[in-house]
Amino acid sequence: MVTVEKTVSLTIIPLHCGHFAALTKNEIGHLQEVHGSIFCAYGHSWSYTETETDRLRHQLATAEERANGETSARLIAEATLEAERSVRTKQAKRADAGVCLHCHRTFRQLQRHMASKHAVGR
């Protein structure tokens, strides 16, 4: 025969009906997380509900997540825009220097080359 002794720390909670419930800290934590219910010895229901502080804390976290997402989206859009500007600037400089954007060759008469070799709609 084996004898096992276990010490459990219980928290006494007064219920709305005037009775009491004894729960462990783990049970209390679980009830708070899931907003669960317990019943007194006489069948009265008692539950943890979301407090105003919890609701506001949740709203604040949601707003912060949204703001962080919008900030990162703005930074990505700015980086994309800057990259496009850089490409356009580079292409404009190459065209000014007489380099064809399609075949990458240099021509003195780039305009005539573009009209004859790379005409749109041919």
pLDDT digits (tens, 9 = 90+) for 50-102: 777 878 898 999 999 999 999 999 999 999 999 999 999 998 888 877 888 77
CA distance 46 to 11: 15
Beta carbons within 8 Å of 48's beta carbon, 6+ residues apart: 31, 32, 35, 36
Give, as one character, the DSSP assignment of residue 89. H
CA distance 89 to 108: 20
According to the model, what pLDDT value does residue 32 have? 80
Percent of the chain with pLDDT over 90: 26
Q: What is the pTM of this model?
A: 0.43
